[in-house]
């Protein structure tokens, strides 16, 4: 967290200076009975364009355009700068006129998703680090398949060596659901322990029907289930870290496209 | 269990293995670039010499026992999967879809929307107008306020690069609003929308103006009204004397103290004479009949306007035969001795351009004029008035031509006229040797027209005759004569001419202070001033006010940080004399008519 704040320091200072510079400029324009919204409007447009360049920069990884973490810090700070510019440009939270309202709705939505995204980007990796497991998002299906295959292999060995089917029946009726795919998605997002409670309930409930040999197999299954729990947490958090952009980026494009028409209207009718 | 060897699952690829999508093990080969499954065969054998070699990875068990088929295909196959697109592709598709949607919506409801939605496309709707404008600007009538950029999208785009919209709007504002004196005002903003922002909703202020904007230009800066606003001027709030020569001090402390006039004294203080119910920037005085008539009514009829007085002739200028022919009166044969010993009156002298001291001119000009009057009635006099630029209809309103003929006939026969009616001494009369007019009441239009005529022609003899306190009607004993480049008579009370950029409304102040006796909180009579002396000359700006000047401290008692507001615009206007053109009302009526016709049409 301290690193993040440190990286944000310089962009924040730049943003604050830019904001007060533009604020002073537009205040002077207002005092001289000129239209201050021209100044704040173009300042906002420039900042929005810079924010969109962040997405382009990620695609141009072949070129040395600076460190990604610096770009991210600039994106965050300038995002808040855009909110400040919008506030003094529009003057109100909710403007008049259908189109202006749609534009404002888009802007506030992209701002909200941006803020949520920043919080996710800062908070979730720390929680994932705490799991002690590292796994790439794209590898999670393979990992879950491997865990499932390992559990089913243990059950075959158990049947062969113990001659009992209690564990197999428990797996077929209960545990197979758990190992089929990631589970307890929202539980991991909000940080509850529903998954562990569920596992404890269903693994311990069968323990009383097992003999000593079967119990050792159950312990092995439990270890795999606990690893599956960590993989599930990775899946849930990494999934959110990727999919919030499905809202943020399209809405950003929406705001950019709508801003063009807004500028056309302003210059055609008001300036 | 993660493996870096399985390298195809990159998030920047277009497709991911479909088996991974259903939580199975993704195959090593991954999808083909066209989106088809690339993992039907477990490996892709390679040919070495004449032999095909299995290329199954060690992760999957290494080379298989059976090995490749003779044609080089892998011997181990599995059902194909349905590869799924990566999140990156979904993001791009969503973004593209949104951009296309915006363009489509703007095209449909913004650029060409007028085709489907009438005059105002929904995506050009900038918001609700303020109540002041929404009442007079019809719906869908953008052109009422905005310049027409022409039809079609291209014309609109051209308008973007021809940024004269604000100037065009200002021109449209001036279709209804008027700002007389704006050109010479110190306040000359470029465009109206610099300060008046429209389309901000029905509850938004139409004026956005802050003290700082005043201080940007005004050299004398101050923080707040209470702390550092400059002191008011010496005669504040007045810049000129009143229209009516009314000395509060003389009336209250001298005239009403006299037992003869004591009953006319105001019983309820200020509100006896001032109409508090109509209080605005000024508190108007009540009518002449309510305030003044009790003492001043008789003055109005005390003297008559003398239109014609037959002067003394040295010799008889009239031919006896002509007199007999025109009037049927036989001349006597006695030696001529003029029946009149009067001098030529001012009005007749001025109209006929006759020197009253010249007996020759009187003989010739007045003699001819009287003959013409005896022949044609009032027409020759009307002719003279027209030549002087006056309206004879107004000046001679009610004057009976036959009466004039009768009088003149007597005079040219060297006889006194015998007045027919000895009743009320009001209106036009033919007297023994003159035609006179006596005002019947206050606001007499004939006498008022004569005063206006005399003020306009600026003839010394006429001015000396009429523009004095004891002149017929005694009008200017109360109504001031003002010389501000042109001489005019202040017929209406009020119009004291405080600074046009100052604004003040008595009404809310009266509600705070209480009516009547509390006027003295601000308005204190200065008993040392002879206010009537201010009216002995005609420059209205030279005066000594009847009241002690209002001091800033009086206002600060309430207008300070704790109590009432003290913004600049609380007391100051930006525009002076802002008004409306009459056509605005026609536009409103037109809108109402269109609404009615629409409703009728819909029925």
The answer to whether the CB atoms of B98 and A253 lie below 8 A apart is yes
Tens-digit pLDDT profile for residues B43-83: 889 999 889 999 888 877 889 888 999 999 999 888 899 99
The per-residue pLDDT for B146 is 86
The answer to whether the CB atoms of A141 and B24 lie below 8 A apart is yes
B290: closest CA of chain A, how far (Å): 49
Residue numbers in A near B127 (CB within 8 A): 95-97, 100
The per-residue pLDDT for B3 is 44
For the segment B550-579, the average pLDDT, to the nearest whole number, is 87
A179: closest CA of chain B, how far (Å): 10
Nearest residue on chain B to A35, judged by CA atoms? B194
Tens-digit pLDDT profile for residues A165-209: 899 999 999 999 999 999 999 999 998 999 999 999 999 889 889
Give yes or no: residues A8 and A125 share one domain: yes
Distance CA A124, CA A3 (A): 15
The answer to whether the CB atoms of B189 and A258 lie below 8 A apart is no
> Of the residues B215, B235, B261, which one is the last residue of a structural domain?
B215
- Give residue B166's domain range: 124-215
The answer to whether the CB atoms of B126 and A96 lie below 8 A apart is yes
- Give residue A79's domain range: 2-132+245-269
Which residue in A33, A138, A271 is closest to B163 by CB distance? A271
Tens-digit pLDDT profile for residues B205-258: 888 778 888 888 888 888 889 988 989 888 888 888 889 999 999 999 899 998
**How many independent structural domains does chain A possess?**
2
Write b or e for each residue in B454-483: b if 16 or more Cβ atoms lie within 10 A of its Cβ, otherwise e. bbeeebeebbebbbeeebbbbbbebbbbbe
Mean pLDDT of chain B: 84
Q: In the predicted model, is pLDDT for residue B569 greater than 60? A: yes
The per-residue pLDDT for B177 is 87
Give yes or no: residues A33 and A47 share one domain: yes
A142: closest CA of chain B, how far (Å): 5
Residue numbers in B near A268 (CB within 8 A): 149, 156-157, 159-160, 165
Q: pLDDT band for position A271 (50/70/90)?
A: confident
A151: closest CA of chain B, how far (Å): 14
Q: In the predicted model, is pLDDT for residue B594 greater than 60? A: no
Mean pLDDT of chain A: 92
Give yes or no: residues A128 and A261 share one domain: yes
The answer to whether the CB atoms of B106 and A261 lie below 8 A apart is yes
Distance CA B266, CA B256 (A): 9
- What is the token pair recorded at A7? 């990286």
Give yes or no: residues A157 and A62 share one domain: no
Query: Lowest mean pLDDT: which of A210-224, B99-113, B238-252?
Result: B99-113
- What is the token pair recorded at B440? 């019947």
Read out DSSP for B100-144?
A: HHHHHHHIIIIISHHHHHTTS-GGG---PPPHHHHTTSPTT-GGG
The per-residue pLDDT for B185 is 74
Q: Which of B113-122, B163-172, B366-375 ranks highest by mean pLDDT?
A: B366-375
Give yes or no: residues A148 and A59 share one domain: no
Q: Nearest Cα to B14, choosing from B30, B1, B41, B33?
A: B33
The answer to whether the CB atoms of B23 and A180 lie below 8 A apart is yes
Q: Which of B102, B145, B203 would best serve as a mutation to test chain A binding (most A beta carbons within 10 A)?
A: B102
Query: How large a percentage of chain B has pLDDT more than 70?
Result: 90
Distance CA B54, CA A148 (A): 28
The per-residue pLDDT for B596 is 39
Q: Which of B13, B93, B111, B126 would best serve as a mutation to test chain A binding (most A beta carbons within 10 A)?
A: B126
Residue numbers in B near A30 (CB within 8 A): 210, 212-213
> Of the residues B477, B494, B512, which one is the last residue of a structural domain?
B477
Give yes or no: residues A152 and A254 share one domain: no
Whether B601 maps to a domain, the answer reads no
> Of the residues B215, B242, B262, which one is the last residue of a structural domain?
B215
DSSP B543: -
Tens-digit pLDDT profile for residues B156-187: 888 888 877 778 888 888 888 888 777 777 77
Residue numbers in B near A136 (CB within 8 A): 2, 9
Give yes or no: residues A13 and A126 share one domain: yes
CA atoms within 13 A on the CB side of A103: 25
Q: In the predicted model, is pLDDT for residue B301 greater than 60? A: yes
Give yes or no: residues A161 and A260 share one domain: no
ipTM for the predicted complex comes to 0.89
The answer to whether the CB atoms of A33 and B189 lie below 8 A apart is yes
Whether B184 maps to a domain, the answer reads yes
Tens-digit pLDDT profile for residues B519-561: 888 888 998 989 989 999 999 989 988 899 999 998 998 899 8
A41: closest CA of chain B, how far (Å): 16
Tens-digit pLDDT profile for residues B436-494: 999 988 989 999 999 999 999 888 889 999 988 889 989 999 999 999 888 899 998 87
Within 8 A by CB and 6+ apart from B179, the residues are B185, B575, B576, B577, B578, B579
For the segment A40-64, the average pLDDT, to the nearest whole number, is 87
The CA distances from residue B581 to A56, A104, B198, B585, in Å, are: 57, 38, 20, 8
The answer to whether the CB atoms of A142 and B102 lie below 8 A apart is no
The answer to whether the CB atoms of B1 and A257 lie below 8 A apart is no
The answer to whether the CB atoms of A268 and B23 lie below 8 A apart is no
Which residue in A31, A134, A145 is closest to B23 by CB distance? A145
Pairing of strands B84-85, B15-16: antiparallel
The per-residue pLDDT for A80 is 96
Q: Which residue has the tokens 């007391």?
A: B571
The answer to whether the CB atoms of B94 and A269 lie below 8 A apart is no
Q: In the predicted model, is pLDDT for residue A118 greater than 90? A: yes
The answer to whether the CB atoms of A246 and B156 lie below 8 A apart is no
Q: Which of A91, A253, A262 would best serve as a mutation to test chain B binding (most B beta carbons within 10 A)?
A: A253
Tens-digit pLDDT profile for residues A220-232: 999 999 999 999 9
Max distance between CA atoms of chain A, in angstroms, equals 93
**How many independent structural domains does chain B possess?**
2
Nearest residue on chain A to B216, judged by CA atoms? A31
Query: How large a percentage of chain A has pLDDT more than 70?
Result: 99
Residue numbers in B near A100 (CB within 8 A): 126-127
| Burial (Cβ within 10 Å: 0-12, 13-18, ≥19) of residue B237 | buried
For the segment A87-110, the average pLDDT, to the nearest whole number, is 92
Give yes or no: residues B465 and B355 share one domain: yes
Which residue in B94, B149, B189 is closest to A268 by CB distance? B149
Give yes or no: residues A59 and A182 share one domain: no
The answer to whether the CB atoms of A261 and B110 lie below 8 A apart is yes
For the segment B338-363, the average pLDDT, to the nearest whole number, is 90
Q: pLDDT band for position A73 (50/70/90)?
A: very high
Tens-digit pLDDT profile for residues B414-443: 888 888 766 667 889 888 899 999 998 898
Give yes or no: residues A82 and A120 share one domain: yes
Tens-digit pLDDT profile for residues A56-67: 887 777 777 788
Query: Lowest mean pLDDT: which of A243-257, B179-193, B222-236, B350-364?
Result: B179-193
Whether B517 maps to a domain, the answer reads no
The answer to whether the CB atoms of A268 and B160 lie below 8 A apart is yes
Give yes or no: residues A128 and A167 share one domain: no
Which residue would you say has higher pLDDT here, A165 or B100?
B100
Give yes or no: residues A213 and A186 share one domain: yes
Whether B577 maps to a domain, the answer reads no
Tens-digit pLDDT profile for residues B10-23: 777 889 889 888 99
The answer to whether the CB atoms of A136 and B149 lie below 8 A apart is no
Q: Nearest Cα to A261, choosing from B40, B93, B102?
A: B102
Q: In the predicted model, is pLDDT for residue B40 greater than 60? A: yes
The per-residue pLDDT for B593 is 44
Q: In the predicted model, is pLDDT for residue A153 greater than 80? A: yes
Cβ B86 vs Cβ B17: under 8 Å: no
Whether B58 maps to a domain, the answer reads no
Whether B461 maps to a domain, the answer reads yes
The per-residue pLDDT for B115 is 56
Whether B373 maps to a domain, the answer reads yes
The per-residue pLDDT for B423 is 61
Give yes or no: residues B190 and B308 share one domain: no
């Amino acid at each position: 967290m301290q690193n993040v704040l440190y990286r944000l320091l310089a962009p924040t200072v730049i943003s604050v200076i830019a904001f007060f510079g533009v604020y002073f400029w537009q205040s002077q324009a207002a005092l001289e009975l000129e239209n201050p919204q021209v100044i704040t409007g173009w300042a906002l447009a420039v900042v929005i364009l810079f924010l969109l360049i962040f997405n382009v920069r990620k695609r141009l990884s072949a070129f040395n355009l600076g460190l990604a973490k610096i770009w991210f810090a600039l994106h965050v700070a300038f995002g808040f700068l855009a909110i400040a510019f919008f506030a003094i440009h529009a003057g109100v939270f909710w403007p008049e006129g259908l189109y202006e309202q749609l534009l404002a709705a888009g802007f506030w939505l992209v701002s909200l998703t941006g803020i949520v995204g920043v919080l996710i980007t800062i908070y979730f990796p720390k929680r994932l680090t705490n799991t002690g497991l590292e796994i790439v998002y794209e590898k999670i299906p393979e990992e879950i398949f491997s865990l499932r295959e390992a559990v089913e292999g243990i059950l075959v060995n158990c049947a062969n060596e113990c001659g009992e089917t209690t564990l197999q029946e428990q797996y077929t009726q209960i545990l197979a659901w758990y190992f089929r795919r990631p589970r307890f998605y929202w539980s991991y997002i909000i940080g509850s322990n529903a998954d562990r409670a569920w596992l404890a309930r269903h693994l311990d409930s069968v323990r009383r029907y097992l003999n000593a040999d079967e119990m050792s197999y159950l312990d092995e299954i439990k270890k795999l289930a606990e690893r599956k729990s960590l993989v599930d947490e990775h899946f849930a958090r990494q999934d959110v870290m990727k999919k919030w952009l499905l809202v943020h980026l399209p809405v950003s494009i929406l705001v950019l496209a709508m801003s063009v028409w807004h500028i056309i209207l302003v210059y055609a009718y008001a300036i | 269990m993660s493996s870096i060897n399985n390298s195809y699952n990159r998030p920047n690829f277009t497709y991911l293995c479909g088996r991974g999508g259903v939580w199975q093990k993704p195959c090593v080969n991954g999808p083909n670039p066209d989106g088809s499954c690339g993992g039907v065969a477990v490996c892709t054998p390679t040919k070495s010499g004449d032999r095909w070699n299995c290329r199954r990875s060690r992760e999957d068990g290494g080379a298989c026992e059976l090995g490749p088929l003779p044609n080089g295909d892998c011997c181990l196959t599995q059902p194909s999967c349905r590869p799924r697109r990566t999140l990156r592709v979904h993001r791009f598709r969503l973004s593209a879809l949104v951009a296309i949607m915006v363009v489509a919506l703007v095209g449909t409801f913004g650029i060409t929307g007028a085709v489907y939605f009438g005059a105002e496309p929904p995506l050009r709707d900038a918001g609700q107008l303020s109540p002041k404008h929404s009442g007079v600007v019809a719906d869908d009538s953008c052109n009422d306020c905005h310049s027409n950029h022409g039809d079609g999208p291209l014309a609109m785009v051209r308008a973007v690069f021809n940024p004269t919209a604000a100037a065009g709007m200002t021109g449209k504002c001036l279709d209804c609003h008027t700002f007389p004196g704006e050109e010479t005002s110190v306040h000359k903003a470029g465009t109206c929308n610099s300060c008046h922002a429209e389309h901000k909703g029905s509850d938004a202020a139409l004026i956005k103006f802050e003290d700082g904007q005043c201080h940007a230009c005004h050299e004398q800066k101050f923080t707040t009204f209470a702390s550092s606003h400059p002191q008011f001027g010496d005669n504040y709030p007045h810049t000129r004397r009143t229209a009516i020569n009314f000395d509060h001090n003389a009336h209250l402390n001298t005239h009403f103290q006299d037992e003869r006039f004591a009953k006319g004294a105001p019983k309820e203080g200020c509100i006896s004479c001032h109409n508090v119910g109509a209080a605005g920037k000024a508190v108007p005085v009540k009518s002449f009949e309510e305030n003044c008539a009790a003492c001043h009514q008789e003055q109005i009829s005390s003297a008559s306007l003398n239109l014609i007085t037959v002067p003394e002739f040295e010799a008889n200028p009239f031919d006896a035969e002509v007199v007999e022919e025109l009037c049927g009166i036989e001349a006597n044969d006695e030696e001529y001795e003029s029946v009149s010993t009067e001098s030529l009156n001012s009005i007749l002298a001025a109209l006929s351009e006759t020197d009253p001291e010249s007996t020759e001119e009187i003989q010739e000009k007045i003699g001819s004029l009287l003959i013409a009057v005896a022949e044609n009635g009032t027409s020759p006099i009307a002719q003279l008035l027209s030549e002087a630029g006056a309206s004879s209809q107004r000046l001679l309103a009610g004057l009976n031509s036959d009466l004039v003929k009768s009088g003149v006939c007597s005079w040219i026969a060297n006889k006194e006229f015998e007045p027919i009616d000895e009743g009320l001494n009001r209106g036009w009369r033919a007297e023994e040797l003159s035609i006179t007019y006596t005002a019947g009441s206050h606001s007499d239009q004939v006498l008022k027209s004569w005063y206006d005529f005399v003020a306009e022609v600026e003839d010394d003899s006429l001015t000396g005759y009429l523009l004095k306190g004891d002149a017929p009607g005694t009008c200017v004993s109360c109504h001031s004569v003002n010389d501000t480049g042109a001489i005019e008579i202040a017929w209406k009370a009020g119009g004291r001419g405080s600074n046009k950029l100052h604004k003040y409304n008595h009404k809310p102040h009266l509600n705070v202070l209480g009516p009547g006796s509390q006027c003295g909180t601000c308005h204190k009579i200065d008993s040392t001033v002879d206010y009537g002396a201010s009216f002995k000359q005609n420059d209205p700006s030279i005066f000594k006010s009847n009241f002690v000047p209002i001091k800033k401290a009086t206002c600060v008692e309430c207008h300070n940080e704790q109590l009432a507001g003290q913004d600049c615009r609380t007391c100051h206007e930006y525009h002076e004399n802002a008004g409306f053109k009459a056509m605005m009302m026609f536009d409103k009526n037109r809108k109402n008519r269109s609404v009615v016709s629409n409703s009728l049409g819909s029925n």
